[in-house]
Amino acid sequence: MKRFIGFIKKEFYHIFRDKRSLFILFGMPIAQILLFGFAITNEINNVDIAILDHSKDATTKEIINKIAASKYFSIKQMITREAGIASVFQKGQVKAVLNFEKDFSKNLIKDHKATVQIITDATDPNTANTITNYVNAILQQYQKELNKDITIAYQIVPETRMVYNPELKSVYMFVPGVMTIILMLVSAMMTSISITREKELGTMEILLVSPLKPFQVIIGKVLPYIFLSIINALVIVMLSIFIFNMPVQGSLFLLGLESVLFIISALALGILISTISSTQQTAMMISLMGLMLPVILLSGFIFPISSMPLPLQIISNIIPAKWFIIILKGIMLKGVGLQYIWKETLILLGMTVFFIALSVKKYKIRLE
Amino acid sequence: MNNNKVIQVKSLTKMFGDFTAVDAITFDIEKGEIFGFLGANGAGKTTAMKMLIGISKPTSGEAKVAGFDVYKQTEDIKKNIGYMSQKFALYDDLTVKENITFFGGIYGLSRKKIKEKSEALIEELGLEKVANQLVGALPLGWKQKLSFSVSLIHDPKIVFLDEPTGGVDPITRRQFWEMIYKAAHQGTTVFVTTHYMDEAEYCDRVSIMVNGKIEALDTPKKLKEQFKAANMNDVFLKLARG
């Protein structure tokens, strides 16, 4: 046991004396969370729009006021002619133009129907879509107010309600993903690099000739990273709670347990990578290409799995990160307990056991 | 069993598939002996050594190191041997003291013992001024000497040195061999591989491996007589060229 403690102490010296690994360990998680939280966002705020109002009557003015009052849009200019629409888009001054037809109020009263055209700049389709939805929502709201006193039979008003993330805050979606990436990175990449480093330097040979047992060497290398990964997970959750006001609905304890499970599966992958690579560079490349890319692309973190082609959907099942993200979203956003995510947990557990068994086997073969 | 024989090897063989890396080698080494283990690159030296230090299982044959069987008692072997590899193997990002403490620690020495050892060792090597500096900043020769001392930290019965003086200047090489002599004098058996034939002359006995077999084994003096050579270099060339 004493041997073991000395070993772990040495491992911490390595980590704390290497600026690069310190940066990856602590700089990266914070930078990523802040980046994803502040910069990369699906929300719209103060989007510049232009208005072409052919009627200029009481109703259109009211609607325009409502739009101007919302924090989502700011009215950049009023256009007077149809030809102006193309020109404002080309100059890139606005993202959308609202075109009210002539005699808007009159039509509304006479025909119970009036038209407003929403023209959006779809070079950025996501934003265009979001803008359309937001404008629609404002119009619906206004319509409802108008019809307050009148009852029209058989009117179907679709009412959408976003649950679990009612404000559509993108940071809520990113936190589970970023947490998964960081834990994968720290656990798998850092351990595989630190083990191959000992191989490269020739110290691994010395350790294997010493009375330390091979599994003690590996556990000794891995334990500090488990510890640091847990700290990282804590930092990420703290940042999301205190900086982005993201509520954690479910049990923090369960969140912790699931995180430890995922960390262990990532560590086992890291050991596996270290057994097949002989240099630190190789270990890093395999970790990045073999782990990071699938985690980013196929885990459902950025691209929804349900809209992927079938073969990719099938492949996504073997990626531990996919299951961990489902678990995280369940606990953090939906506040569910183990009874709702036991299947995912079981899959993750199975994968972890499989990776550990495989890396132990590989490691033994290498010793021969 | 003769207690003076710390290494006994009989028909030890290692095969990789169809390739016989080590072909039925047989030899004994006595306590306190400096045993030179020579051979060209690829002759099977490293493979043979790996079997003796318990990190590679022999295909057939018998061997006992420090009285323990290389098949079943590798853990006991590991406790009783020291090892220094051709690749320099201390941690560059740890200080001299931390390295000593770490290696003392993994060999299970008590804290008090480690402290004593490390003070004695630092004084002996004249490293007082750099004791708290990172090993990475030391010149190669110093590192090598430190590495050798560290491999002796747990007072092993046998120390295995795999090309310990590669890339070191002649003066440091000389000092290094003085350290080897001192260790041997204190009763540690030294098993050393080298490519420097002048170093082979310093050994008590020398074995020369060619293509997995031990082709010659005797004192340097007798080998020179046997092969009618002026020095070990000629002996080696005559054998290795076949």
**DSSP structure string for B126-191:** T-GGGTTSBGGGS-HHHHHHHHHHHHTTT--SEEEEESTTTT--HHHHHHHHHHHHHHHHTT-EEE
pLDDT band at A293 (very low <50, low <70, confident <90, very high): confident
Indicate if the pLDDT at residue A155 is higher than 60.
no
- Flag whether pLDDT at B239 surpasses 60: yes
Q: Which of residues 7-26 of B touch A (CB under 8 A)?
A: none
- HEC string of B195-237 equals CCHHHHHHCCEEEEEECCEEEEEECHHHHHHHCCCCCHHHHHH
Contact residues, B window 142-171, toward A, CB-based 8 Å cutoff: none
How far does CA A35 lie from the centroid of its chain?
11
Which residues 184-223 of B have a C-beta within 8 angstroms of A?
A: none
Higher pLDDT, B188 or A208: B188
Q: Does A234 touch chain B (CB under 8 A)?
A: no
pLDDT at residue A42 greater than cutoff 80: no
Q: Does the beta carbon of A207 lie under 8 angstroms from any beta carbon of chain B?
A: yes
pLDDT value at A146 more than 80: no
> CA A202, CA A310: separation in Å to the nearest integer?
46
A210/B107 Cβ within 8 A = yes
Could you tell me if residue A42 is left (phi over 0), alpha (psi between -120 and 50 degrees) or otherwise beta? alpha
Distance from CA of B220 to the nearest CA of A (A): 30
More confident residue, B226 or A303: B226
Q: Domain B32-59+72-241 is classified in which CATH homologous superfamily?
A: P-loop containing nucleotide triphosphate hydrolases (3.40.50.300)
Mean pLDDT for the stretch of residues B37-63: 90
Other C-beta atoms closer than 10 Å to the C-beta of B49 total 20
Which tokens go with A139?
């119009």
* Predicted local confidence at residue B12, as pLDDT: 95
Residue A53: in which H helix or E strand, if any? strand A47-53
Of the ranges A27-36, A197-206, B60-69, B75-84, which one carries the lowest mean pLDDT score? A27-36
State the pLDDT at residue A288: 86
Asked if A91 has any chain B CB less than 8 Å from its own CB, the reply is: no
d(CA B115, CA B104): 9
**CATH class, A47-146 region:** alpha beta
* Closest CA of chain B from A188, distance in Å: 22
Domain boundaries, given as residue ranges, for chain A: 10-40+170-367, 47-146
Q: How confident is the model at residue A159 (pLDDT cuts 50, 70, 90)?
A: low
What is the Cα–Cα distance from A141 to A146, expressed in whole angstroms?
9
- B101 pLDDT higher than 60: yes
* Res B224 pLDDT > 80: yes
- Residue B41 is predicted with a pLDDT of 84
* Torsional sign, CA B59, B60, B66, B68: positive
In sequence order, what are the beta bridge partners of B190? B34, B159
What order do you get walking across the sheet with B60-65 strand by strand? B19-30, B5-16, B60-65, B68-69
Is pLDDT of B150 > 90?
yes
Q: Which residue of A has its CA nearest to B95?
A: A13
* Residues A155, A106: Cα–Cα separation, whole Å: 21
What pLDDT was estimated at residue A112?
78
Do B93 and A14 count as a contact with CB atoms less than 8 A apart? yes
Highest mean pLDDT among A5-19, A297-311, B9-23: B9-23
Instruction: Tell me which of A63-67, A151-155, A241-245, B136-140 is least confident.
Output: A151-155
Say what angle helices A104-111 and A58-69 make with each other, to 10 degrees.
110
pLDDT of amino acid A212? 85
Best of B75, B91, B143, B161 to disrupt the A interface (most A CBs within 10 Å) is B91
Share of chain B above pLDDT 70, in %: 98
| Beta bridge partners of residue B8, listed in sequence order | B28, B64
Distance CA B242, CA B237 (A): 8
pLDDT of residue A165: 56
| Stretch A207-212: mean pLDDT | 87
Q: How far is CA B145 from CA A253, B45, B108, in A?
A: 52, 23, 22
Share of chain B above pLDDT 90, in %: 64
Average pLDDT, chain A: 83
Q: Please check whether residue B199 is in contact with residue B172, taking contact to mean a CB–CB distance below 8 angstroms.
A: no
Instruction: Name which of A10, A17, A211 is nearest B102 (Cβ-Cβ).
Output: A10
Higher pLDDT, residue A150 or B6: B6
- Contacts with A368 from chain B: Cβ below 8 Å: 56-57
The whole-angstrom separation of Cα B9 and Cα B24 is 9
Give the model's confidence band at A298: pLDDT under 50 very low, under 70 low, under 90 confident, else very high: confident
Residues in contact with A32: Cβ distance below 8 Å, sequence separation at least 6, in sequence order: A178, A181, A182
**Taking residues B17-32, what's their average pLDDT?**
93
Mean pLDDT of A221-248: 86
A16 and chain B in contact, CB less than 8 A: no
The CA-atom distances, in angstroms, between A226 and each of A105, A260, A323, B121, B122 are 66, 8, 20, 35, 35
Specify the residue for token string 């196929």. A298
* Measured distance CA(A176)–CA(A331) in Å, rounded: 10
Q: For an interface test with B, give the residue of A16, A17, A210 to mutate (most B CBs within 10 A).
A: A210
A205 in contact with chain B, both atoms CB, cutoff 8 A: yes
Which of A18, A202, A211 is facing B107, going by the closest CB pair? A211
Residues B77-92: what's their mean pLDDT?
A: 88
Å between B237 CA and nearest CA of chain A: 30
- The alpha carbon of residue A51 and the mean position of all alpha carbons in its chain are separated, in whole angstroms, by 35
Interface of A with B in 208-227 (CB under 8 A): 208-213
* Residues of B in Cβ contact (< 8 Å) with A6: 101-102, 105-106
Residue A265, pLDDT score: 92
User: A206 and B89 in contact by Cβ < 8 A?
Assistant: yes
**Residues in contact with A286: Cβ distance below 8 Å, sequence separation at least 6, in sequence order:** A192, A273, A276, A277
- What residues contact residue B91 under an 8 Å CB cut-off, 6+ apart? A10, A13, A14, A201, A203, B98, B99, B102, B135
- Give the model's confidence band at B146: pLDDT under 50 very low, under 70 low, under 90 confident, else very high: very high
Contacts of residue A193 in chain B, CB cutoff 8 Å?
Answer: none
Mean pLDDT of chain B: 90
CB pairs under 8 A between A and B: 75
Q: Render pLDDT for A254-279 as a digit per residue (tens, 0 to 9).
A: 999 999 999 999 999 999 998 888 88
**Torsion angle (degrees, nearest 10) of CA A277, A281, A284, A289:** -90
pLDDT in tens, A173-195: 778 888 888 888 888 888 899 99
**CB proximity A124 to B under 8 Å:** no
Residue A211 to residue B81, Cβ atoms within 8 A:
no
Q: Which of A6, A206, A213 sits opposite B85 (nearest CB)?
A: A206
Q: Identify the pLDDT of residue A134.
A: 84
Q: How many Cα atoms occupy the beta-carbon half-sphere of A82 within 13 Å?
A: 3
Taking contacts as CB-CB distances below 8 angstroms, the residues of chain A near B46 are: none
Contacting residues for B67 by C-beta, under 8 A, at least 6 apart: B1, B6
Q: In terms of DSSP bridges, do strands B68-69 and A96-100 run parallel, antiparallel, or are they unpaired?
A: unpaired
Question: Which tens digits make up the pLDDT trace of B179-205?
Answer: 999 999 999 999 999 888 888 999 999
Q: What's the Rg (C-alpha) of chain B?
A: 18
For tokens 């690749």, the residue is B87
**Between chains, do B93 and A18 touch, taking CB under 8 Å as contact?**
yes
- Compute the average pLDDT of residues B147-176: 90
Residue B122 pLDDT class (50, 70, 90 cuts): very high
Interface membership of A6 toward B (CB under 8 Å): yes
* The pLDDT of residue A354 is above 80: yes
Quick one: how many helices (H) and strands (E) in chain A? 17, 4
